[in-house]
Structure 1
Amino acid sequence: MESAALSQIIERVRESARQGRALRIRGGGTKDFVGGPAVALSKADVLDMRCLSGVVDYEPSELVVTVRGGTPLAELEALLASRGQCLPFEPPRFAAGGTVGGMVAAGLSGPARATVGAVRDYMLGVEIINGKGELLRFGGQVMKNVAGYDVSRLMAGSWGTLGVITEVSLKVLPVAPAEATLRLECDQSSALQRLHAWGGQPLPLNASCWVRDEGRGVLYVRLRGAKAAVEAACAGMGGERLDTAQTAADWDACRDHTLPWFTDRAGRPGLALWRLSVAQTAPALGLPQGIEPELVEWQGALRWVQAPAECGTALQALAQAAGGSATLFAAPAQGVTLEMPAQGQRQPALAAISQRLKQSFDPSDIFQPHRMGTGG
């Protein structure tokens, strides 16, 4: 039985399809900045999803939770924490007010992503409204439910271009029994070498972050797992062991981009924030002259770079040579004309698949037209 809020959203979508009016699907608006100024400048009608909120079902013993798309992310995380469970992929918040639907649509993951997986890896089922105003369900509440399972995962990172996410079923995990953070001073090349070597060993490595801190290169490594495994790793990996309670806030700041490395960009309005996804074994990149060293996450697979917008093409070439791609994550504070599409050029085959999916789910092209150039 449809709720009044859900019925209103369905009718709103159908009316937009009939009139050919674009819709900007919005939860808390905490990720509107991602991909550049297109979202902020969009003239599409806003479809606010926060009216569709609440936990539908939670089975702690089964490690499964089902919630409505407009449910505040903070509310879900608090519920899981009360039962000693969590979303292990650590979805970034960036600001207060984010929703579960927005978390899935953005498909962004935090520091632990390289070890535990991404948002889509925890998607069990999803309910969406397509561009015709039809309510569709895919997947279920168990990992073995194959029917439609890939469609559920497809919604992660789609930025709402394929449908309105009304309900999500997620796999959750228990909080690790032990945690520790190590600090090691080293340059980026040494940090990458250490991470690559550790990656081949049975260590409870959960997250890593290399950054320039007061002029020195510093590698932070977070360990999570059984207490005996964490203690043994601390004894064998070297470095300075930090206070876990204090470092928890630092890892949150890394996830939410409130570390000084990120926030200092506000004092240099001409710089954009670029996200370089590369092969985990890629060496330190030869950045264009004048560009400060990047912040490195995901055991080397994610490189954040602050650079002028005109460096986009050069960064894209560097990333491609390292087995990946470069995308504009946050535009400069000052308005500029970008030299490259916000998310880089797609391969022709991938672009063709994306267009076919878009045509199938949203034939009238009413969902998130401002996001189609960003690639999700």
Structure 2
Amino acid sequence: MSSLQDSSTRTVRPADLAEAAAALADTAGQVLVSGAGTAADWAGRPDAPELVLDTTALTGVRAHNPGDMTVEVRAGMPLRELNGVLAEHGQRVALDPARVALGATAGGLIATADAGPLALTYGSMRDLVIGMTVVLADGTVARSGGHVIKNVAGYDLAKLAHGCHGTLGLIAEVVLRLHPLPAANLTVRLPGSLAEAAEAAAEIMSGPLEPAALEWCGDALLVRLEGGAAAVDARADRLITLLGLGAVRLTAAEEAAAWDEHAVLVAGAEGRPPEGTAVLRVGARPSRLAGLLGELGTELGASRVTAGLATGIGTVTLPADPETVSRAHQSVHRAGGTSTLRARPVDAALPGWGPAPAAVGLLRAVRKELDPGGRLGAGRFVPWM
């Protein structure tokens, strides 16, 4: 039994939309929405619930339209399984968060606003979701969007649900925009410091090379290229010429190992950070990210740094004590950035968020409109609401 549950907590695993709606309609207490559990430690620690709604039985593809490049799935389906199905048609959901290898679900990735290196080219789930079905706290079923990518009718629940951490409703079904699998891909690696990588990244992004992903990881800049085989090969030659001595193409095995290392730095081995540490997700202007992450390293002992030098998203591993994590949140806030706790030791009492954003009043109003009783995910956004 989880530390968040007691003997009065019950768990329900709805297998379809009707069961999910009935589960919420039939209870009046606190509810925690849970999927694969790969982000259970993200954000604020939720209050002990009366009911845990386990979405892992809400799985499977409901409709795939290869010609329209869309797919509708139940939100409990792991993204890696979905991409395995889509690969047979030469398609994919172009999203690669570190948690995908751990079984992260489509709904969970939306609820946590998680993304990976490919966000540089394809965006986050916010950009890939074109339709959504949500069950609100009272059991009401609400739908937004559909299967048409340009559909703008209705209340955009998908945008609201992105990053809601299960506080606005149960994401039950989603319609996703697809992209073709690339004919070829390769990665160029340039060893160097974070500051040197930031300079190289700025030069790359000012030119026509169009990297699919660009991340500093440990002690080197990784630049991923995708496209037709001949075009990728030619762009790699130009990239190596631009970067100069030290830049090398990675073999397929080396490329896989490099990006696996990046995922481990972000999510920890088997989804856990090293003992006694916490992981903070940091967002800032790309031009400020390297300096901010360097400051966290110098002043707070941050380590295991990853930096999306063109997306402005990075992660750092910190000592798991409240003062250090709080100071890190404050530093990010002063730099005009955002930060979220994304891993912590079991039962560690660490602040999930930094100072409240200017729009916190609007966040509270939306929460009150969709969940007047504050039943869903209470504690996730403490101290904001």
TM-score when normalising by structure 1: 0.86
1:229 to 228, 231, 234: 231
1:307-363 Cα deviation digits (max 9, x unpaired): 223222332233234331232221245x5443xx3121222x421111111111111
Q: CA shift at 1:269, angstroms?
A: 2.8
| Structure 2 residue matching 1:93: 3-state secondary structure | helix
Q: Distance in 1 between matches of 2:119 and 2:164?
A: 18
Q: How does 1:156-167 map to 2 (within 5 A)?
A: 156-167=162-173
1:325 to 338, 344, 349: 338
RMSD: 2.7
Contact in 1 for aligned 2:182/2:226 (Cα 8 Å):
yes
Q: Distance in 1 between matches of 2:50 and 2:361?
A: 25
The verdict on how the C-alpha distance between 1:292 and 1:21 changes in structure 2, with shifts beyond 3 A counting, is: closer
Contact in 2 for aligned 1:326/1:344 (Cα 8 Å):
yes
Q: How does 1:19-30 map to 2 (within 5 A)?
A: 20-30=28-38
| Structure 1 residue matching 2:204: 3-state secondary structure | helix
The verdict on how the C-alpha distance between 1:267 and 1:50 changes in structure 2, with shifts beyond 3 A counting, is: closer
Matched with 1:355 is: 364
Q: Distance in 2 between matches of 1:201 and 1:79?
A: 36
Q: Distance in 2 between matches of 1:165 and 1:266?
A: 25
Contact in 2 for aligned 1:31/1:94 (Cα 8 Å):
no
1:250 to 255, 258, 268: 258
Contact in 2 for aligned 1:111/1:297 (Cα 8 Å):
no
1:172-225 Cα deviation digits (max 9, x unpaired): 10012221111111111110011011111111311123233xxxx322211112
| Structure 2 residue matching 1:247: 3-state secondary structure | helix
Is the counterpart of residue 182 in structure 1 residue 188 in structure 2? yes
Judge which range, 292-301 or 56-65, deviates more.
292-301
1:18-69 Cα deviation digits (max 9, x unpaired): xx31111112222212236x24x73341112223222111011110000112
Matched with 1:118 is: 124
Q: CA shift at 1:77, angstroms?
A: 1.3
Q: How does 1:132-143 map to 2 (within 5 A)?
A: 132-143=138-149
Is the counterpart of residue 47 in structure 1 residue 27 in structure 2? no
1:138-162 Cα deviation digits (max 9, x unpaired): 1111121111363222212111211
Q: Distance in 2 between matches of 1:365 and 1:75?
A: 33
Q: Distance in 2 between matches of 1:297 and 1:24?
A: 32
Aligned residue type for 1:105? A
The verdict on how the C-alpha distance between 1:118 and 1:290 changes in structure 2, with shifts beyond 3 A counting, is: closer
Is the counterpart of residue 269 in structure 1 residue 275 in structure 2? yes
In percent, how many aligned pairs have the same letter?
Answer: 31
Matched with 2:3 is: none
Q: CA shift at 1:294, angstroms?
A: 5.0
Matched with 2:243 is: none
Q: Distance in 2 between matches of 1:260 and 1:155?
A: 23
Q: CA shift at 1:261, angstroms?
A: 9.4
| Structure 1 residue matching 2:236: 3-state secondary structure | helix
Q: Distance in 2 between matches of 1:12 and 1:264?
A: 32
Q: Distance in 2 between matches of 1:136 and 1:158?
A: 16
Contact in 1 for aligned 2:306/2:316 (Cα 8 Å):
no
1:9 to 4, 10, 20: 20
Contact in 2 for aligned 1:210/1:296 (Cα 8 Å):
yes
Q: Distance in 1 between matches of 2:188 and 2:341?
A: 31
Is the counterpart of residue 345 in structure 1 residue 345 in structure 2? no
The verdict on how the C-alpha distance between 1:75 and 1:13 changes in structure 2, with shifts beyond 3 A counting, is: same
Q: How does 1:72-151 map to 2 (within 5 A)?
A: 72-93=78-99, 96-148=102-154, 150-151=156-157
2:214 to 203, 208, 218: 208
Q: CA shift at 1:370, angstroms?
A: 3.1
Is the counterpart of residue 298 in structure 1 residue 301 in structure 2? no
| Structure 2 residue matching 1:314: 3-state secondary structure | helix
Contact in 1 for aligned 2:102/2:270 (Cα 8 Å):
no
| Structure 2 residue matching 1:165: 3-state secondary structure | strand
1:61-120 Cα deviation digits (max 9, x unpaired): 110000112223332111111111111122442664432222222220111112321111
Contact in 2 for aligned 1:207/1:297 (Cα 8 Å):
no
Matched with 2:7 is: none
The verdict on how the C-alpha distance between 1:167 and 1:62 changes in structure 2, with shifts beyond 3 A counting, is: same
| Structure 1 residue matching 2:264: 3-state secondary structure | coil
The verdict on how the C-alpha distance between 1:117 and 1:222 changes in structure 2, with shifts beyond 3 A counting, is: same
Aligned residue type for 2:169? G
Matched with 2:220 is: 218
Mark the runs of 5 or more structure 1 residues left unpaired by the alignment. none
The verdict on how the C-alpha distance between 1:289 and 1:144 changes in structure 2, with shifts beyond 3 A counting, is: closer
Judge which range, 230-239 or 130-139, deviates more.
230-239
Is the counterpart of residue 315 in structure 1 residue 328 in structure 2? yes
What is the count of residue pairs matched by the alignment?
Answer: 359
1:69 to 63, 68, 75: 75
Matched with 2:244 is: none
Aligned residue type for 1:244? A
Is the counterpart of residue 280 in structure 1 residue 273 in structure 2? no
